[in-house]
Structure 1
């Protein structure tokens, strides 16, 4: 018997404990017998329902054809090679998942041999890699999902030799490394690594279930027990702590896991009923502004993208209006822009036959979510491209992938994002220059990265200091009142030691303009407060109270109502270090003000689109008097 096989026998005999990397409860004990291949996501014969969907709806038909056309292009492409970038093989693993999902979908929907042969070629190539880079286990997880999906969907048409090579790779390069404590710390994590890695391992277990039944059950039971950790972060109301980009990663793979469990065992073991999980679809839908750009706080990109998982949520919640943003992307955008999405075929799998053009817009124009990273997402309309959109966050810089952006916001009007966020910088660009990027302590080099600290965000800086990493800012009130839609947050803990109290409120007034009001109380010393707005617009300072922003032929005015005397100014966004990314076409604008010791001060700023200049009310009430 091979040494690794002996290890598996030994591991299988270890008693299951609560702290073991293996599962404690046999969740599969009462589940039905697993179906024959194909069994992952789409059972045998279920292609017929998908064919009816793509045949009955022009938009689905276009997407289906785009996947086939892209698969035609893949037929001629060379198989992937094991190319590692820095510590990651991840780009290769992700491309493998995209290729194999597309090609396997094309094969099952058309049964054209070219797709089968090309997918088999890809499966053989990646199965021959020396390993799937277990030291960065996301790479293993995505590659295991890719190979398992291809193996399962093509299983009955692969040669015995191909099946033998592929399932051996799933076992040796996917599942077995996940048993090694050197590589499986993600089992105890409460962030996206847990979701992605457990999903990948579960797909591997489902793929070779009949060959390794004990190990497969062990892996699946372990995943069911472990994935509850990140799913707990959606509580209480669905706000995802890591932001837009990582929602698209962690939540999508969480849904890939749940969907596979439901298909294979007829149940998701109660996981989708966890507090806040189904509600997170509302979070994601509202995170996109009228410009189709995301509220890109923390490590996120700006551009929004099609989210296949939203179709699963819409089906689960029986609420097609959750697909309003996806509807726009499918109907109004170039279908080719979706083809880099490695989970794209899942959108059709989870479509539930919904007619894209019949999706109605959501009824509510405000969404508020509590939790580790509480957010408030407000707009004046879902269908007006010129609508005002304001999104604000509280939370803590100690959260996974967070920036020092507590109290920060973005704002859109007339199709322009006037108040912006840089979002993330490419990790490899920092890691390759030796930046201590993943150390989140207060004095870490992470917070010297320009895009990550509060100096570059639409928030307050006190005494030229960084925000407190361990500080936490809850949302304290909110209101959907149409004439004064608003939210407030308590920033006191973020500025502990620099201020006695700090509260921020943001409102949309009469659907015409936005108000940002900060109420500060100082300690027994003079304090300097800086109010900053980051913008891609051209900035013209008109006078001591007024800034004019212009972009794309549109105009927005920044008006300072309080304090009485400030000097408006701009700051550059040039990279201060050689490791910082360039930030062309952007400016920081705002003001600094000296606050007396033991004083109460309000900073009140209006953001007024040109069309609303005549609608500005002169006074803004204290935060305590804002509608709740």
Structure 2
């Protein structure tokens, strides 16, 4: 039953034979499971000796022991006599439930519900407690001791962001939900035995969207290695199957059916998978999503294998599996991982470079100060999480996210605002606005790629090449700049160690610095469009000539006034795409006016961020207003106006033909706008 030298490990023989008996009534399997269960009950301890040596009584392996014992007790119950049942109940109490309560009262590290290991340990122990509850002569302390498991698991579901994000990342969400133990086992047992439904928790109910939005387009694994996660593992099949089945979630079922998943737990997968549940194509979902309380944002052009994904993080760093990755990002496009995260080395935490590379700021696509490889604090103070998302807007044609991360640098910086704008589906724009808290400093921006010879640079353009795809990085600021191309540590896409390298760029020492880089992925045979740098006063940006259209984007964090390339705005950022047919797209961040070639495109009575797409018959977009008020939008002759799905009465909007502006009221916050035109 047990592995040699590891008497604390429960084998799957017990679990699978018990399941076969429960499903089919096969006595051969049932009696085998019974014998294994009674052997398990004879163990003196369920805790790994190394854990006991550290002064703890339970660990996540205790949770696996407890799940196996509790499930098997339930499944082969008819084959046990009362003496045997008492033996199993006593083992569960003595080796799992009671020591877990003691550890909880002593504040042991696994009592922290923000860890996937807590879900493994306490979830499994809770399952075992629920399995014996109300049976035979109940231990008078059982209900009290069970309270420890329930307290931790109740806190565990509270740690999810309102949208379903898990602070440790996708891989550790998967592990904490289902891997021989975990949250889903406990939640199922709790619902059946006590009628309490933790699945109804509003954050947890969205958990399946987290792996979906951060799924790399190549689908080679569940994650790009964002956070402290590996590159090579799929999401747990049992976890995504259960989420799909529990909520009738067709998008989770799509993930289960179309993405390579990993059978951590084949028994749970067998029980929870529902092949008759219809799937829903995620193309019907909003393309991009912010997971607010954890500071993760996924910017997507879609969910196909040829679509692009930009991952961005600026938010609290979890004590368990956190990384110093504030304002870090990764970029996948055209089926390739182009700018990558450090991931987890093949030899895990024992890697000799784990602390000085994988767990250091130098391994992330963010900014170093004075070449300090550990520029960001690993664990910022409770008063300042080190990073936060300060702006986010998403549409089907344009996304923009801004993070503030000066707090991660422990007083060295007064400002580090990073904006990534995604002009869908073509390219991204990175803009950094950095200020030293005192004295001049050297600021270095990092870009990591797979492949030891994958980065080259000529003039102001770096090129990252990956399997017939080239990511062109047009560096417009600083100018001039210095650079270095450095060998990084191996990463594991597809489970195979792959060499990496990274580009480091920096300007002269200064108290302030602005980085402006255009990131344009193209097939190797395609040429980068012509890009011209624009500067006017405090504004910095570019003009891109791309076939029959021109893009103009400018940044002015000081809001001194944008006036360049025909674009005039009082915002922090402005974008216009124009062609022979006129303006095709526009966007504004943190302002109240935007004009192009003397034509007002947008005006608002309050500070707003907005983005609009213009066609011959429709103007559509989004406005995020700081308060309720009136807006004016450039339009052809309007026929109808819809705000957040409701058609406005004709008396509530007005159109001024000479200026081409339609005016109407919107509330504070996000409003989706659609103007039908003639």
Q: Calculate the TM-score normalised by the size of structure 1.
A: 0.73
Q: SS of the residue aligned with 1:142?
A: helix
From 226, 250, 257, the counterpart of 1:327: 257
The CA distance in 2 between the partners of 1:521 and 1:101, in whole Å, is 59
**Structure 2 regions of 5+ residues with no counterpart?**
491-495, 533-541, 543-552, 558-571, 574-587, 590-608, 610-678
Contact 1:322/1:362 (<8 A) preserved: no
The CA distance in 2 between the partners of 1:494 and 1:550, in whole Å, is 31
Contact 1:314/1:323 (<8 A) preserved: yes
Match of 1:238 in 2: 164
Q: SS of the residue aligned with 1:502?
A: strand
Q: SS of the residue aligned with 1:278?
A: helix
Structure 1 pair 251/472, CA: closer, same or farther in 2 (3 Å)? Answer: farther
Match of 2:612 in 1: none
Structure 1 pair 273/621, CA: closer, same or farther in 2 (3 Å)? Answer: farther
Structure 1 pair 309/398, CA: closer, same or farther in 2 (3 Å)? Answer: closer
The CA distance in 1 between the partners of 2:500 and 2:318, in whole Å, is 27
Match of 2:376 in 1: 467
Match of 1:255 in 2: 184
Contact 1:557/1:610 (<8 A) preserved: no
Q: SS of the residue aligned with 2:416?
A: strand
Structure 1 pair 197/79, CA: closer, same or farther in 2 (3 Å)? Answer: closer
The CA distance in 2 between the partners of 1:613 and 1:379, in whole Å, is 23
The answer to whether the aligner puts 1:215 opposite 2:215 as a matched pair is: no
Q: SS of the residue aligned with 1:504?
A: strand
Structure 1 pair 236/355, CA: closer, same or farther in 2 (3 Å)? Answer: closer
The answer to whether the aligner puts 1:203 opposite 2:132 as a matched pair is: no
The CA distance in 1 between the partners of 2:393 and 2:14, in whole Å, is 47
Structure 1 pair 218/497, CA: closer, same or farther in 2 (3 Å)? Answer: closer
Contact 1:174/1:201 (<8 A) preserved: yes
Deviation string 1:342-366 (CA, Å, 9 cap, x unpaired) is: 2x43344334564366666551211
Deviation string 1:190-222 (CA, Å, 9 cap, x unpaired) is: 433432222122211122221325333233344
Q: SS of the residue aligned with 1:289?
A: coil
Contact 2:59/2:121 (<8 A) preserved: yes
The CA distance in 1 between the partners of 2:329 and 2:67, in whole Å, is 36
Match of 2:300 in 1: 379
The CA distance in 1 between the partners of 2:16 and 2:472, in whole Å, is 48
Superposed CA RMSD in Å reads: 3.1
From 299, 324, 327, the counterpart of 1:407: 327
Cα distance, 1:161 vs structure 2: 6.5
From 262, 273, 291, the counterpart of 1:369: 291
The CA distance in 2 between the partners of 1:507 and 1:288, in whole Å, is 20
Match of 1:74 in 2: none
Structure 1 pair 295/143, CA: closer, same or farther in 2 (3 Å)? Answer: same
Q: How do residues 61-210 of structure 1 correspond to structure 2 at under 5 angstroms?
A: 79-83=2-6, 92-93=9-10, 96=11, 98-133=12-47, 135=56, 136-158=58-80, 163-181=85-103, 185=108, 186-187=110-111, 189-209=113-133, 210=135
Q: Calculate the TM-score normalised by the size of structure 2.
A: 0.68
Cα distance, 1:243 vs structure 2: 1.0
Cα distance, 1:523 vs structure 2: 4.0
**Structure 1 regions of 5+ residues with no counterpart?**
1-77, 434-445, 576-581
Deviation string 1:10-34 (CA, Å, 9 cap, x unpaired) is: xxxxxxxxxxxxxxxxxxxxxxxxx
Contact 1:544/1:567 (<8 A) preserved: no
Structure 1 pair 157/532, CA: closer, same or farther in 2 (3 Å)? Answer: same
Cα distance, 1:328 vs structure 2: 0.8
Match of 2:357 in 1: 450
Q: SS of the residue aligned with 1:464?
A: coil
Cα distance, 1:150 vs structure 2: 1.6
The CA distance in 2 between the partners of 1:549 and 1:397, in whole Å, is 29
Contact 1:201/1:219 (<8 A) preserved: no
The answer to whether the aligner puts 1:280 opposite 2:210 as a matched pair is: no
4+ long deviations beyond 6 Å:
none
Q: Which stretch has the larger CA shift, 457-466 or 604-613?
A: 604-613
Match of 2:554 in 1: 621
Structure 1 or 2: more helix by fraction? 1
Q: SS of the residue aligned with 1:180?
A: helix
Q: How do residues 268-347 of structure 1 correspond to structure 2 at under 5 angstroms?
A: 268=197, 271-292=198-219, 293=221, 294-302=223-231, 303-329=233-259, 333=260, 338-339=262-263, 341-342=264-265, 344-347=266-269
Q: Which stretch has the larger CA shift, 514-523 or 180-189?
A: 180-189
Structure 1 pair 416/426, CA: closer, same or farther in 2 (3 Å)? Answer: closer
Match of 1:4 in 2: none
Contact 1:536/1:585 (<8 A) preserved: yes
Relative contact order, CA 8 A, sep 6+: which one is greater? 1
Structure 1 pair 420/168, CA: closer, same or farther in 2 (3 Å)? Answer: same
Match of 2:271 in 1: 349
Structure exhibiting the larger radius of gyration computed from Cα positions:
2
The CA distance in 2 between the partners of 1:184 and 1:198, in whole Å, is 13
Contact 1:529/1:593 (<8 A) preserved: yes
Match of 2:394 in 1: 480
